[in-house]
Chain A
C-alpha cells in the first residue's frame, strides 16, 4: 500500500440525510466513502471490505453504536480499526468508551463541526495507511530474514557435507596427505600419514612436522617445502620414506597455500607410494637392456656368420667352377671327336658334372639361409609357366638317375606371377629329396595344376622311405634332418628354404604321407601372387 492510496471509510447512520452531510464534508479527503443505514448493513460491509475507519451514529434502532463497536472489536481483523462516534453524548455514556482497550476510538459531538470531523478522519486515515505500510515492510523484512536464514542454513549443510566428503577421501585414500603452516607445523594429517609415521592426527596437530619424521626424511622434506614456498608453485618430488616396513618410494605433489593477502601460508602435500611401480620399471629397464645387449650380440654373431658364409661360398665356388667347366669341356671335346669315347670315361665325366652341380646347390643353400633370414627378399616376379619349369626339371633329374622313373602330369600351361629362379629352386629341392629318400628307386610323380581353390598346386610324390610320424612336425625347420642318423647327404636346409620361398610368395608348403608309403610334398601359390611390401624387385643387371 502506498501513502496516497485511498482507504475505506464506513459511515453508519439511520438517517440518510446525515450520511449525505458527512459525505459532503469528507469528499475532499479523496478517501473511499461507504454508506450504511443500519448496524446490520454496516456489518455486511465489514465482512466484505477492508475498512480503515468506522464513523457511526450512537443512537440507531436495532443495534446502537456501542453495540456495533463491540461486535466490531470482537473480530480480530478490526481490533485496531479506528471508530469515531457522532452523538450528543452524555458524560456517563462517554465513560463506556474507556472500556475499549485497544484501537483508536474518538468522539465528535453534535452539532458536527465539519473541520473537526475532516481533521479527525484525515488523521485516522493517515494512521491507518502508515500502519499498513509498516506492516507490509515488516512482513517483507521477515520474509527476507527467513530466506537469508534458510540460505545460510543450506550453506552450512553444504559445507558440512563437503567437509565430510573431503574427510572420507582423506581417510580412505592410500596416499599420505598432510597440511602444514608456513612454519612447518601440522594443521592436519590423514590416515595414510598416521599409518606410515605412527602418529595420530590429534598428536600431530600443532607439532613441527620435522620433529615427527625420521631424520633422513625430515631433511629432504624441509628442502622440498622451502622450494615450494619460495617458488610459490606446486611441484612434484620423488621421495624415499623410511618406515618400519623398510624404505618405500613415494611421488609427492606439494602445493603452496596462500592467505588472503596472497602470502604463502602453508603447504598441502599428497604422496603416492610408487615402490612397486618403480621396482617394476627398474626391472623392465634392466630386462630391456639385457634384451638389447643380447640382440646386439646375436646380430653381431649373425653378421660374422654371414660374412664367413659369403667368403666361404665364394672360395668354394671358384674350384667348383673350374672342376665343372673342365669336365664339360672334356665331354664336349670327346663328343666332337671322331673316335667314340669309352663308356667309363663319359660316365665319369657325367658324375663330375652332376656332383659339382650338386655342390653348387649346397653352397647356394647356405647363402640362401642367411639372405632369406635377413632380407626376406625374393627376386623380381614375372608371369612364369610353371609347367615348363617342372617338365624341364623332370628331364634334367631323370637323365641323372637310372633307378627312378620321373613322371610329369598336370595342366598344359600354368602361368603365375613368381620369382622363376626361386620356384625352380623349390621344385629342385623337392625332386632331389624324392630321389635321395627313395634309395630303392621307383616312380616319382611331379604335378603342376590349378587346384579346386584356383590356386597353383605343385607336388612331388615319391614311394621311398617316408618320414617317421614323430619327426613329421619338424621337417620344415632349419638344419632339421629326419634321417640324420642314416648319414644321408644334405644340410637340412632344403625344406626350410622351400617353405620360406613359398611363404614369401603368399603361399604355403605341406607334407602328406600316403598310406602306401613314401611322401608327397605340396606347394600352393596364389595365381596372382600379391606383391607384399617385403618383396623388393631385384636390382636390374
Chain B
C-alpha cells in the first residue's frame, strides 16, 4: 500500500503549535495527515475525504469536540475511530461523554501518542 492510497489521519486542535508539531511527527512517521483548527473545519475535511482516524481536541472555538463528535456521527458513514486529546483534568470523563474510542491526556509523551495511533492505523 503506497502512501497515496492510505487514508489520512484527521488532526483537530485549535492550538497551532500543537497542530504543526503533531502533524510533523505523524508525517515524519509516514502517515498522511489533514489538519483542522476546529470542529467545523474538521467536518468539512472529513466530508471531503474519509479519514482513517481522528485525533480530537475538545475545547475549541467555533465548534468544540462535543459538537463535532455529535455532528460527525450523524453524517453518512463509514466513521473513523476517535482518540480524544485533552488537557482537562478528568480526561477519561471527557472521552466517555462522546463515546470516544481512546483518550490521551495532554501533555503527552510522543512515543505514547505513536503507540496509540499504531493501535488504530495499520
Contact = CB atoms under 8 A, between A and B. Distances in A.
Contact of B18 (A325, A360, A538): A325
B110 A332 contact: yes
Given A314-B87, A541-B100, A325 B110 contact: yes
A322 B22 CA distance: 9
A314 B59 contact: yes
A328 interface: yes
B2 interface: no
Contacts of A322: 15, 17-18, 21
B85 to A, nearest CB: 8
A357 B87 CA distance: 14
B107 A329 contact: no
Contacts of A371: 89
A321 B106 contact: yes
Interface string B99-122: 010110011111101000000000
Contact of A329 (B89, B100, B110): B110
A153 interface: no
B92 A538 contact: yes
Given A310-B89, A313-B87, A325-B110, A318 B18 contact: yes
Interface in B78-97: 87-89, 92-93, 95-96
Q: How large is the interface on A (under 10, 10 to 19, 20 to 34, 35 or more residues)?
A: 20 to 34
Given A329-B24, A332-B110, A541-B96, A317 B87 contact: yes
A332 B109 CA distance: 12
Nearest to A306: B89
Contacts of B28: 329, 332-333
Contacts of B106: 317-318, 320-321
B21 A329 contact: yes
Contacts of A333: 28
A314 B96 CA distance: 18
Contacts of A321: 15, 18, 87, 106-108
A274 B100 CA distance: 66
Interface string A279-316: 00000000000000000000000000000001001100
B89 A325 contact: no
Interface in A9-47: none
A218 B79 CA distance: 88
A328 to B, nearest CB: 4
A325 B87 contact: no
Contacts of B100: 541
A328 B109 contact: yes
Given A321-B106, A325-B110, A541 B18 contact: no
Contact of A325 (B95, B102, B103, B108): B108
Interface string A363-376: 00001000100000
A318 B110 CA distance: 15
B62 interface: no
A255 interface: no
Interface in B6-26: 15, 17-18, 21-22, 24-25
A356 interface: yes
A111 interface: no
Contacts of A317: 87, 106-107
Contact size range, B: 20 to 34
A313 B107 CA distance: 11
A177 to B, nearest CB: 68
A318 B102 contact: no
Interface in A320-377: 320-326, 328-329, 332-333, 356-357, 360, 367, 371
Nearest to A317: B87
A310 B92 CA distance: 15
A356 B107 contact: yes
Contacts of B113: 325
A310 B96 CA distance: 19
A318 B96 contact: no
Nearest to B103: A541
A335 to B, nearest CB: 12
A237 B87 CA distance: 65
Contacts of A313: 87, 89
B66 to A, nearest CB: 15
A510 B22 CA distance: 43
A539 interface: yes
A262 interface: no
A470 B80 CA distance: 60
Interface-central residue, A326, A356, A541, by most chain B CB under 10 Å: A541
A367 B89 contact: yes
B13 to A, nearest CB: 9
A317 B85 CA distance: 12
A27 B17 CA distance: 153
Contacts of A539: 92-93, 96
Interface in B44-102: 59, 87-89, 92-93, 95-96, 100, 102
A538 B93 CA distance: 8
Nearest to A332: B110
Nearest to B57: A318
A408 to B, nearest CB: 22
A165 B100 CA distance: 84
18 contacts: A314-B59, A317-B87, A317-B107, A318-B106, A322-B17, A322-B21, A324-B107, A325-B113, A328-B109, A328-B111, A329-B25, A329-B110, A332-B28, A332-B110, A333-B28, A539-B93, A539-B96, A541-B102
The 8 closest A-B pairs by CB, nearest first: A317-B87, A321-B107, A322-B17, A321-B106, A541-B92, A328-B110, A320-B107, A541-B95
